[in-house]
Structure 1
Amino acid sequence: MTITHAQSAPLVAVVGATGLQGGSVIKALAESDKLYRIRGFTRDATKAAAEALKKQGVEVVAVNLVVENREEVYKAFVGADYVFLVTNYWEHVNQAREISEGKLLIDAAKAAGAKGIIWSGLVPVRQISGGKYSKVLHFDSKAQVADYGRASSVPFVDVQAGFYATNFVGPFPLLAKQPDGTYALPWAARPSTVVPVIDIEHDYGLFVRRVLEAPVFPDGQTVYTASEDISAEDMARQIAEITSQKVVFKQITPEDAAQKFIADGFPSAAATDAVEGFLFFDEFGYYGGKPSASSEGLARPTRTFAEFVKSADWSKVFV
């Protein structure tokens, strides 16, 4: 454990400290042999995850990172040497809000005199697809914020998150139970479609740590993270082999995919966002044709998808 309160150590401010990405960043920095002061932001500093961070030595700050709370947001970043910034589109499903809040975070970091900004972005789908896929809003909004960050004059690195492995066991599991009791992975994409899957809690923070511990902060770099690049068909096969459940990949139409998302509780616009996303992955690649980042120089190996499957709790999926 290397979290410290010594003023000689750099102060890293982490947005979403009790969430998947921010939590992974704190975990990776805490494992380092370098000393860090860490300030973690959360809306509720009394919840169990926040209390656990306090016990590790993290300075936990309760703040609502919204435009209406601009003054308090600016105060929260004061003294930060480096910042990790992330927004959660799925919390409100509002592109304009995500863009405005992302820009607010960058402005606050700049006002605080931060030496470097690390932003959790995604590729500009509309631009890469020539307008063919114009409704993958949560990708395009993060890409717009990244453009704003690069123009901020503060050293800026975009560390993009791959496809969450936890999507398979989250509140909206990707697997669907079939009438015969078996399970399908129903995607509006070909079985050969390769995605950069990442065990977000275990691995994402490693890439952020590598940026912070580079000999020189790599201003302008974009890091396309992945634990493993793997096809949709191979994911279904590995889940089946490891869990001993009957699981197959099933390519479905975009219309059927949208209906499934809506049936699972997605708002209509969010369902369209998700479906166009899969179509984009199939045609252009998750990162728009850019290769996933090398794991060279990471503090420890990333997990394979099979290792994630072995470690995950599937009790709420296979019911």
Structure 2
Amino acid sequence: MVASTDSNAPLAVIIGVTGQQGGSVANALTESSKPYRIIGLTRDASKPKAQGWAEKGVKLHEVDVSVGNEAAVAKAFENADIVFAVTSALDLRTKENEIATGKLMVDAAKVAKVKHFIWSPLESPAKWSKGRLNAVWTFDSKAEITEYLRASGVPFSLVPAAGYLSNLFGGGPLALTKQPDGSYVMRRPCSPKTLAYIVDIPRDYGMYVRAAIENPGMGPGSEVLSGTLTSYEDMLANISQLTGKKYVFRQVNREEFNGIVTGAGLPPSLADMLYEMHKFISEFGYYGDKDVAANHKAAGIVAPTIMEMLRNQPEGTFD
């Protein structure tokens, strides 16, 4: 499927089209039964991923979405019916930088009179815990951007990304670890019965964004909560069933968890953030007290099961 060239088709501008979330949104819109013209924003249009989108009819605009480049971002949003906006906290490195970048996007959308601004937010652990869990700045910054968006007057929808399924297989501190006996272990600072929402970002996240755009009762003012609910132990049971290999959960204390994160070459501040993120999810839930099942029903979403997600992973994922 390719992007439309019909001048009457809605124009969607996607920030970070070569990233996981932006790419998933582009996929969902090109695969829709409805036509969309698509502009993909990227820092480097010569990258293979960017060129792949160009081959599918996506027009590429090289734009650095960062503080100091406000005019270029507003220009990139001109005539857009839809803008999909996401920030990468770890690329921006600080809470202050992420908030400033998010506000820049909102301001640009207001200047350009964007009709439907779709933002990828997260809940605030600090707010839910009344300030006790204050290290999860990657969540708190997005929540602050959401409040700014609410006050801006820009027509918007919220489509938060659930926990990335790919984190289990990417080799980072949250990845499953192979043991000498051939089994795999998941190490987390919480109970194996902890419930979490998981999404296969490249394959499925865009489906939730498309629902916010197209489905009756959605549109500006809507929120579509992505992901499928599972416990960590049930996740591992599904992987074991699929692969025939042994997967086990091991609950670790804060000191050991911090050692896992810093042992992967990441700073102690990120270890604190990931530890408190797990505390937040286990105590309050990834989406707080929001009724995800009712939300999916209202949005016309049939979320894939965990097993369906696992079966759709690329060859070699479980090696």
TM-score band (shorter)? Answer: over 0.9
Shift of 1:6: 2.0
**Which residue in 2 is equivalent to 1:30?**
30
CA contact (8 A) 2:212 2:218 kept: yes
**Which residue in 1 is equivalent to 2:274?**
274
Cα–Cα, structure 1 residues 9 and 216, in superposed 2: closer, same or farther, change >3 Å? farther
CA contact (8 A) 1:93 1:270 kept: no
Deviations 1:224-255 (A, max 9, x none): 211x2100111112222222222101111122
**Which residue in 2 is equivalent to 1:212?**
213
1:62 maps to 2:88: no
User: Structure 2 length as normaliser, TM-score?
Assistant: 0.93
Cα–Cα, structure 1 residues 284 and 261, in superposed 2: closer, same or farther, change >3 Å? same
**Which residue in 2 is equivalent to 1:185?**
186
**Which residue in 2 is equivalent to 1:114?**
114
**Which residue in 2 is equivalent to 1:292?**
292
Partners of 1:224 and 1:254 in 2: how far apart? Answer: 29
Cα–Cα, structure 1 residues 214 and 313, in superposed 2: closer, same or farther, change >3 Å? closer
- The 5 A counterparts of 1:122-201 are 122-172=122-172, 173-178=174-179, 180-201=181-202
1:103 maps to 2:106: no
State the SS of the aligned residue for 1:33: coil
State the SS of the aligned residue for 1:224: coil
Query: Which is worse superposed, 187-196 or 163-172?
Result: 163-172
Partners of 1:155 and 1:98 in 2: how far apart? Answer: 21
Partners of 2:309 and 2:216 in 1: how far apart? Answer: 31
Partners of 1:317 and 1:271 in 2: how far apart? Answer: 26
User: Structure 1 length as normaliser, TM-score?
Assistant: 0.93
Shift of 1:56: 1.0
State the SS of the aligned residue for 1:272: helix
Deviations 1:72-97 (A, max 9, x none): 22221112111110000122431111
CA contact (8 A) 2:99 2:145 kept: yes
Unaligned runs of 5+ in 2: none
Partners of 1:114 and 1:236 in 2: how far apart? Answer: 43
Shift of 1:196: 0.8
Query: Which is worse superposed, 174-183 or 91-100?
Result: 174-183
State the SS of the aligned residue for 1:57: coil
CA contact (8 A) 1:280 1:286 kept: yes
Partners of 1:215 and 1:114 in 2: how far apart? Answer: 20
Shift of 1:289: 2.5
Cα–Cα, structure 1 residues 239 and 273, in superposed 2: closer, same or farther, change >3 Å? same
**Which residue in 2 is equivalent to 1:8?**
8
Cα–Cα, structure 1 residues 153 and 273, in superposed 2: closer, same or farther, change >3 Å? same
CA contact (8 A) 1:169 1:313 kept: no
Partners of 2:28 and 2:190 in 1: how far apart? Answer: 34
Shift of 1:265: 2.1
Cα–Cα, structure 1 residues 186 and 171, in superposed 2: closer, same or farther, change >3 Å? closer
Cα–Cα, structure 1 residues 257 and 203, in superposed 2: closer, same or farther, change >3 Å? same
Partners of 1:302 and 1:22 in 2: how far apart? Answer: 19
State the SS of the aligned residue for 2:12: strand
State the SS of the aligned residue for 2:38: strand
Task: State, as a whole percentage, how many aligned pairs show the same letter.
Answer: 39
State the SS of the aligned residue for 1:68: coil
Which amino acid in 1 is paired with 2:32? S
**Which residue in 2 is equivalent to 1:231?**
231
CA contact (8 A) 1:196 1:292 kept: no
Partners of 1:251 and 1:313 in 2: how far apart? Answer: 28
